[in-house]
Amino acid sequence: MRQIRRVTTVVDPTCVLNVARDPDDDKILECAMEARADIVVSFDKDLLQLKAFEGITIIHPLQLKYLFPALPVK
């Protein structure tokens, strides 16, 4: 958990969106916008279908190996 906390940001979104097919996915996008995220990594098919939102790229976890190909495993 300590490692995860070092690379995460806790946010309380101030915007309310209604853009995703699944209303629960709007919460993810709201948090990503509030955190000024560059990327959302998700298995969710509805989010992945968007591909991007307001400059935030939405990718499947398997795509991470192309973004970070030389990460050492600890």
Cα–Cα separations (whole angstroms), residue 10 to 5, 18, 42, 57, 58: 9, 21, 18, 19, 19
Please indicate, yes or no, if residue 7 is contained in any of the structural domains.
yes
The range of the structural domain enclosing residue 62 comes to: 2-67
State the sign of the Cα–Cα–Cα–Cα dihedral 59, 57, 34, 23.
negative
Cβ–Cβ contacts within 10 Å for residue 17, how many? 16
Tell me: the pLDDT tens digits for 18-60?
A: 999 999 999 999 999 999 999 999 999 999 999 999 999 999 9
Structure tokens at 23: 């209303």
Please give the DSSP secondary-structure letter assigned to residue 66: H
Query: How much is the pTM?
Result: 0.79
Number of domains observed in the structure of the chain: 1
Please indicate, yes or no, if residue 32 is contained in any of the structural domains.
yes
Please indicate, yes or no, if residue 54 is contained in any of the structural domains.
yes
